[in-house]
Structure 1
Amino acid sequence: MNVNLMTKNTALALALIALPAASALANSGLTGCAAKKAEIQQQIDYAKAHDNSYRVAGLEKALAETSAHCTDASLRADREADVRKKEQKVAEREQELNEAKATGRTDKIEKKQEKLEDAKEELAEAKAELNK
């Protein structure tokens, strides 16, 4: 398996597990890689409690990779890159909305407005991740 693909799969797994764990760890005071490892460990404990051996195996791999490769500086750089990417997406969605407004078609305008709002929400979430 391609290393880049493994990294993307690991990132996807982490993103999926981070959602429920984020609120529980919000008050823990951990930041950066320590918080990331704690989130993964919490998900491992949950998966073990529910006898989900496949998920445990994947999470343990993610934890090992995080322990081996995560630095607070690299994590911050990744998160900053994600914010820049989301900012670009918002700009693109704003341009698409302006183009739809020029056509005057309300159905397209509504659709583009929804996409813009979604992009803004993703940007806000990415910015919130910067401080974790």
Structure 2
Amino acid sequence: MKRALVVDDDKTVAEVLKDMLQMEGWDVMVVDRVKKAIPLCETEVFDVVFSDLMMPDVRGDAFLEELKKKNSPMADRFIIITGADVSEEIQDKVKELGGRLIKKPFYLKDIKEILKDL
């Protein structure tokens, strides 16, 4: 079974994404802080990581950068979700690091499309 990590401090968004992924047959782990997610990524293997951009402890793009520095294969399967307008600088940084961006609100078809491209 494929495994996903969802990192979002908004419980509603995290649960909706978890439900969408589970409907597609994924095993999903949810955490509400990047500082909880980083050690998980060191001890667990996830086929995809979804992280909110604007987190209370560490921004999603900094989380992606941390995984990239550690040569984690999860950095290439990293999706940042955000409801905020994202500067071109952040978009370029995420792309350069191998991640992807998806805007809120997102739909099941959007998630399916991303998962298909992994």
TM-score (norm 1): 0.27
Q: Which structure is higher in helix share?
A: 1
Larger-gyration structure (1/2): 1
Q: Which has the higher strand share?
A: 2
